[in-house]
Amino acid sequence: MEQERRRRTADDWAAAALTAIGEGGLAAVAIEPLAARLGATKGSFYWHFSNREALVGAALALWEKQFTDAYIAALAGEPDPVARLRMLFTRIMGNAGQNALAVNVLASADHRLVAPVVRRVVQRRIDYCVALFEEIGFPPAVAVQRATLGYTAYIGHEQLAARLPDLLPLHNADQLTRYIDSVLNLLLHDAPGHNAPV
C-alpha cells in the first residue's frame, strides 16, 4: 500500500480523470476504470480523494491550470499585443480537434461541479482578450465586443474540429495560417495604428 501511494499521486488521478473527460465527458470519470488505467487500486484513489466529486474538482483545476493559466503565462514575454493575439489564436486553433476536452467540459457547464469553474475560466479568458484589445488601442466597449467575438469564434471552431472535423476546410498548416489571418484581420479591423493585414 505504501509503495502504491508513492507511485500514484493525486495529480496522476486528476490527469487520468481529465483524459477521461476528454474521451467520454464527465460521465467517464469513474473510479474503477481510472484505477485500471493507472494500474492502481481503489484504495489508492481513497488515499487521495474522499469521493468522485473531489476527483472531478481536481481534474477541473488541472484543466484550468493547463489550458488557461499556462496559455496566458506562455504569452507574457511578448511585448506586442497584436503578436500575443496571433500567438494565442495560433495555439488554440492549431490544437483544436486533437482532444474533445474543451468541448466536453463546456457541454457539462450546467453541472453543479463544473459550472463555477467554467464560468470563472471563460470570464478570465474573455477578460484577458479584452485587455489585449484595449492594449491594441480599442475603446473598452469595442474591446469587449472584439474579445467576445474572438472567443465565440474559438468555441465554434473547437466544436466543429472535435465533432465534425470534415466540415472544416483546414487540412494543412497553410490553410490554418490563412484562416487565422482572416480571423485576426476581422478582429483588428479599424484598430488604431493597425492598417496592414496581420
67 neighbors 74 (Cβ within 8 angstroms): no
Looking at the domain covering 1-58, what would its CATH class be? mainly alpha
Q: What is the pLDDT of residue 89?
A: 93
Distance CA 181, CA 98 (A): 21
Query: Which sequence spans correspond to the domains of the chain?
Result: 1-58, 77-198
Q: What is the dihedral of CA 159, 161, 166, 168, to 10 degrees?
A: 90
Name residues of the chain where pLDDT drops below 70: 1-6, 194-198
Looking at residue 195, what is its pLDDT?
55
Chain centre to alpha carbon of residue 86 = 16
Q: Model's pTM, two decimal places?
A: 0.88
